[in-house]
Amino acid sequence: MNNIGTKKQMRQDSSTLLSERWLGTILVGVIALALIILWKIAASKTSALILPAPEAVVIRLFNFVSTGRAWPHIWITTQEILAGFTLGSILGIGFGTLTAEFSLARRIIMPYVIFSQALPKFALAPILVIWFGFGMGPKIIIAALIAFFPLMENTYLGLTSTPQGQLEVFRAFRASRWTTLIKLRIPHAVPAIFSGIRVALMLSLVGAVVAEYVGANKGLGALIIVSQGTLDTELMFVAFVLLTALGFIIDTFHGHIYRLVLRRMYGRTSQDLEAPGGNVSV
């Protein structure tokens, strides 16, 4: 009887979760429509130089993309985001693992990490341009520096939150530090690491675009600066839309990879983990 009751409760929970997802999707659409209507009303009461109408931005966006002028900017910014994120991930996950495994390493490294985070990254952009020129180098470095910290902290928190009971089992079998790390700590830390990856990806986008403000002739950030200088507000909004779409695509790709990893490692998805009692167990 208990098993029947448990299965019934699980079905009810799944049905409730599905209903909430559908409701959330509908509300997102309704809110988006309301914001567009408000935008349209506000644009009708002011100059197009200050706030262009939504339909004008859509037409300009279509022309900008269809003629091929948008793709070089999108491609440059995408390269900077991915290169900066990759470099920041290698450093962040590496240092996060090192500080989780060795307390002495954390005591030595953390003061420098805190110092580096206290210094605004965007303030470094001018000097990086002087050192590395106006190419992609400074943008990648800024994106990597911004992506580094959330990945380091999430990796550390994920690796140090392994249940004590499971650690005791590994110690009882005299598993080495390396075996415990690979077989237990890292699998348990995967959700936390992917959470850090999601934040780092978005911060890499912000870092790459803002770094383009300092010195670049291509990229979506450079496009914003050019449109500002020429008072082309429509083009500026087009750049905003392209940046938003790029961020959405990157986040969606991250979600697909995350679900694939969870299913391969645990036989479960992120939706399963959202359900009641859906904790990760290795």
Q: Could you tell me which of 64, 80, 67 has the C-alpha nearest to residue 223?
A: 64
In angstroms, the CA 113 to CA 105 distance is: 12
Query: Which residue shows structure tokens 């920041």?
Result: 88
In angstroms, the CA 145 to CA 115 distance is: 12
Task: Look up residue 54 and give its two tokens.
Answer: 């939504």
- Per-10-residue mean pLDDT of the chain, 282 residues long, equals 52 61 80 89 84 90 91 92 93 92 87 80 78 82 89 91 84 83 87 92 89 81 88 90 93 90 71 47 44
Task: Look up residue 210 and give its two tokens.
Answer: 């803002």
| Sign for the pseudo-dihedral over CA of 39, 44, 48, 50 | negative
Q: Could you tell me which of 105, 122, 201 has the C-alpha nearest to residue 156?
A: 105
Q: Is 160:238 a contact under the CB 8 Å cutoff?
A: no
In angstroms, the CA 83 to CA 78 distance is: 8
Q: Is 43:54 a contact under the CB 8 Å cutoff?
A: yes
Collapsing DSSP states into helix, strand and coil, what is residue 188?
helix
For 23, 118, 142, 157, the CA distances from 115, given in Å and listed in that order, are 44, 5, 16, 20
CATH 3.40.50.620 fits 52-274, yes or no: no
Query: Which residue shows structure tokens 């209507």?
Result: 37
What pLDDT, on the 0 to 100 scale, is given for residue 176?
Answer: 82
Q: Could you tell me which of 37, 106, 73 has the C-alpha nearest to residue 224?
A: 73
